[in-house]
Amino acid sequence: MKLLTIAGTRPQLVKVAAVSRELRKYFTEVLVNTGQHYDYNMAGIFFDQLQIPKPEYNLGVGSMSHGRQTGNMVIRIEEVIEKEKPDAIVVYGDTNSTLAGALVACKLHIPIMHIEAGLRSYNKKMPEEINRVMTDHVSELLFAPTNLAVENLKVENITKGVHQIGDVMYDAVLYNMDIAEENHSLSDFQLSSKEYILGTIHRAENTDDVERMTAIINAFLSLDYKVFLPLHPRTKNKLNEYSLLAKLECASNIILSEPVSYLEMLLLEKHASAIVTDSGGVQKEAYFAKVPCFTLRDETEWLETVKIGWNQLVNPLNDNLVDLINSFEKKNYEENLYGDGKASEKIVQIIKNYFQE
């Protein structure tokens, strides 16, 4: 049996590494990298370090508007599928690459297997929300990371082919944390364990709003901790546009950085005193690292982390981020919110059963 896996962003390829290790024991897998994120600050070394299979196809779509990007992917993915004639398509999460792959497969009547199915923010202004809802509704197998994800699908009358298997991201973190510790050191960043706060900002709801960005930056400047801030190029440009970049560059408690690799990020997360982010993936990685997380959004797909008190949603215009960080009290940590780290093995077994039936 031949499976065609479609991915195009760094977080997706990290998950691909975890699943492909198991998948390739039993199936022929063809990996398509759409190139949705075309600068991984890594290139070949990223694939080598994380033992990600080299893609058979690199589509090189790159960055552009959502409609143009998705449309270009649809055209190129269709060409690959017509050539490879796979028995099923595997897609991950909620990106434009995911939606494009699902659309093509659906039109060609090829079964779709969706990893990270059932997540909902219930905010349809997010492109990711549209992508994941539409993909779920055309998928044959839906691999949900949590019980809540299963319930979300049930509300939408999706029950057939749904499997709660845990989160493949946990598989990836367990596998890669030791590699991160072996290959990188906090001294590379002039940091000491538990003596800094890690910040990441990239979502448009923050970066495109000068008031929100000003509030976030002022909070960072007011903290007694060092703040390590790797800047996405788009975020950096916006900070410069808002005349905030110069303030950060002059601040004694701020350490600005270019984007870091996945392994470096794992190391920085593990040793941070707290994490401030608007990233979905970083919220979970903070939980895995047992580090308090403060999420600069009005909603999250990862409600489990909020319910146990290890993640707090923060509206930078209404909430005092500095007070929230300073007053945080560690609560009892609940293990295994996202499974036992064997989601990839469970996925492969379910796919085997699907084809046998």
Q: Name the residue range of residue 105's domain.
A: 2-167+339-356
Q: Supply the mean pLDDT for the chain.
A: 94
Residues 7, 154, single domain; the answer is: yes
| Phi/psi at 273 (5° precision) | -80, -35
309 and 327 Cβ atoms separated by less than 8 Å: no
In a domain, residue 203? The reply is: yes
Residues 156, 189, single domain; the answer is: no
In a domain, residue 86? The reply is: yes
Q: Which residues pair with 142 in a beta bridge?
A: 114, 162
Residues 117, 233, single domain; the answer is: no
- For tokens 């195009």, name the residue: 8
Q: Give pLDDT tens digits for 289-318.
A: 999 999 999 999 899 999 999 999 999 999
Residues 13, 154, single domain; the answer is: yes
**Distance of alpha carbon 238 from alpha carbon 240, whole angstroms:** 5
Residues 319, 346, single domain; the answer is: no
Rounded to 5, what percent of the chain is helix, strand, coil?
A: 45, 15, 40
In a domain, residue 228? The reply is: yes
pLDDT score at 164? 98
Domain count, the chain: 2
In a domain, residue 117? The reply is: yes
In a domain, residue 211? The reply is: yes
Q: In what order do the strands lie in the sheet with 2-7?
A: 57-58, 28-33, 2-7, 88-92, 112-115, 141-144, 162-164
Bigger pLDDT: 247 vs 45: 247
Confidence check: pLDDT of 40 > 70: no
Tokens of 188: 């590379």
In a domain, residue 6? The reply is: yes
* DSSP code string of 119-133: -----TTSHHHHHHH
In a domain, residue 331? The reply is: no
Residues 257, 136, single domain; the answer is: no
In a domain, residue 333? The reply is: no
For the annotated catalytic residues, the residue numbers are 202
Q: Which residues pair with 173 in a beta bridge?
A: none
**Distance of alpha carbon 141 from alpha carbon 242, whole angstroms:** 45
Helix runs in 24-126, H state only: 44-49, 66-84, 96-107
User: Which pLDDT band, with edges at 50, 70 and 90, does 332 fall under?
Assistant: confident
In this structure, what CATH number is given to the domain that contains residue 275?
3.40.50.2000
pLDDT score at 272? 98
pLDDT score at 233? 87
SS3 57: strand
135 and 112 Cβ atoms separated by less than 8 Å: yes
- For tokens 């903290």, name the residue: 223
Residues 221, 317, single domain; the answer is: yes
Residues 148, 182, single domain; the answer is: no
- For tokens 């920085």, name the residue: 268
pLDDT score at 42? 47
Residues 10, 75, single domain; the answer is: yes
SS3 47: helix
| Phi/psi at 184 (5° precision) | -140, 160
Q: Which residues pair with 293 in a beta bridge?
A: 275, 311
**Distance of alpha carbon 266 from alpha carbon 280, whole angstroms:** 14
pLDDT score at 193? 97
Q: Give pLDDT tens digits for 89-113.
A: 999 999 999 999 999 999 999 999 9
Residues 123, 48, single domain; the answer is: yes
Confidence check: pLDDT of 43 > 60: no
Residues 97, 179, single domain; the answer is: no
Residues 236, 144, single domain; the answer is: no
163 and 330 Cβ atoms separated by less than 8 Å: no
Tokens of 142: 């839906």
